[in-house]
Structure 1
Amino acid sequence: MKYRLAIFDFDGTLADSFPFFTATFNELADKHGFARIDPATAAALRGHSPRQMMSHVGLPAWKLPFVAKDFIARMGESIHAIRPFDGVDAALARLADAGVALAVVSSNAYDNVSRVLGPATTRLFRHFECGMSMFGKTASLRSVLKKTGVHASEAIYVGDQSVDLQAARRAGIAFGAVAWGYATIESLREHRPEEEFASVAELARIA
């Protein structure tokens, strides 16, 4: 087995929430006082890191927790519009059947995560570390390692943004970059992830 533990980000990795993000972004911009984006050019911003995106729209770091909380609440109200990426349920089931322990580390709320994944897929996961944390995703990744008893060298964090990769590096675990998320695979490739997944089906390589 290549990895005994696979930890997944949620938005842009398991859930196809980018269309909801772009549809909601300008409402959040108006409410919280940062610049709108043109929906027609939103895809071009996928090469930006979260920090670059914040700079682009003039969103100060101190506002981010409030914006994120509002986004998560709005997602909960529109959860019916968000679905897992095609093939995610089957890919996760195959990994679980192969004996890989599964976990989620996400800044989104557990209620949103579990409702999008559905009861059957949610039960495949042993641990969830969800919600905004002042200690960031690195602490959440370390918490999952501690709870599972899996050594960092036998774990991988699968995500779609550079902040996910950086958290994995600080936790001492491998990072798997997906090609279907918020950030482009080209922008993630610059950071030399240990694994790349061009399609959901390729997640089978984790086992």
Structure 2
Amino acid sequence: MSSFAVFVGLGSAISLNKAIIENNVLGSAQVPYSSIQYEIVTFRRIFSVLDHNIVFLAPNPSTMIKCVIFDFDGTIADSQAVFISVYNQIAKKYNYRHIELEKLQHLRMLTFNERCRYLRIPIYRIPFLAGEFLATYKKELRQVKLFDGMKELLADLDASGFETAIISSNDKNNISEFLTDNGIHSLDKVYCSTSLFGKHKLIKGFLRKYKLMPDNILYVGDEVRDIVACKKAGVKIAWVDWGYDLKEAVMDAAPDYLISDPGEIITLVRAK
């Protein structure tokens, strides 16, 4: 019998009933079902029948997740206490409002602009404060902790063949030192920018440099601005609930996935 292949457009489906399977495809092969239905939902998937054998070709690589990109602070690193300590040192110096622990939950519900107003920080001053903040952060780096389950997740991703990277507004030297101190060596791509509003540009630059499509990426972050950046860059984002922003504050931004445990991330990417 000559071979044939069926190429199907987006959203179409093919149903093969028992008679077709037995008479035209499988011959005398045993079929344990009364009918078989094949649904092909993207033009990139091809159903082929060659010499009485059904062959499913691998999904198009352009639609597969190849790389998981992480935010750093609040996602990999539990740096909340250090952030508050460093900020309060700067606030004392410049007469900004201090962050009090009893007000932290309230701050986590506010937008970025609302936080700046509450803390009495002029937004235009933030780029000028970034260098001082990160230099002071470095002095307290040993106080930053790795979130439970993150080391195991990164090892699982590496063992499963996924690339991993970090895109952050922290300093690259801070991040590299933290990873080394915590015995994490598989995460070698670290992109940083002190701009709080340019993360989408970093993501797009990462895609260009490594010749990846947006569908090849899953971004993992904890803030509304991570979600906004991913929407601009056209990549999927998994928001984690152990970071800075509260769930109530991020739902309007519509993250693609909600994650409550690091182990859920490896399950998610394996299913894609």
Query: 1:143: which partner in 2?
Result: 205
Query: 1:99: which partner in 2?
Result: 161
Counterparts of 2:157 and 2:216, CA distance in 1: 14
CA RMSD in angstroms, aligned pairs only? 1.9
Q: Which amino acid aligns with 1:193?
A: P
Query: 2:115: which partner in 1?
Result: 53
- Superposed CA offset, 1:2-24 (max 9, x none): 62111111000100001111223
Q: Is the 8 A contact 2:220 2:237 kept in 1?
A: yes
- Which structure dedicates a bigger proportion of its chain to helix? 1
Equivalent in 117, 123, 139 of residue 77 of structure 1: 139
- Superposed CA offset, 1:6-43 (max 9, x none): 11110001000011112232221122332223222223
Q: Would you say 1:3 and 2:58 are equivalent positions?
A: no
Query: 1:12: which partner in 2?
Result: 74
Structure 2: 5+ residue runs without aligned partners? Answer: 1-62
Query: 1:32: which partner in 2?
Result: 94
Question: Radius of gyration: which is bigger?
Answer: 2
Q: Which amino acid aligns with 2:258?
A: E
- Secondary structure at 1:176's aligned position in 2? strand
- Secondary structure at 1:30's aligned position in 2? helix
Q: Is the 8 A contact 1:176 1:195 kept in 2?
A: yes
Work out which structure has the larger RCO, using CA pairs closer than 8 Å and 6 or more positions apart in sequence.
1
Counterparts of 2:130 and 2:226, CA distance in 1: 16
Query: 2:173: which partner in 1?
Result: 111
Aligned residues: 206
Query: 1:175: which partner in 2?
Result: 237
TM-score under structure 2 normalisation? 0.71
Q: Which amino acid aligns with 1:93?
A: A
Counterparts of 1:128 and 1:43, CA distance in 2: 30
- Which structure dedicates a bigger proportion of its chain to strand? 2
Query: 2:269: which partner in 1?
Result: 206
- Secondary structure at 1:41's aligned position in 2? helix
Query: 1:128: which partner in 2?
Result: 190
Percentage of identical aligned residues: 29
- Secondary structure at 1:156's aligned position in 2? strand
Q: What's the CA shift for 1:126?
A: 4.3
Counterparts of 2:119 and 2:196, CA distance in 1: 23
Segments ≥4 residues shifted beyond 6 Å: none
Counterparts of 1:163 and 1:153, CA distance in 2: 20
Q: Which amino acid aligns with 2:101?
A: P
Structure 1: 5+ residue runs without aligned partners? Answer: none
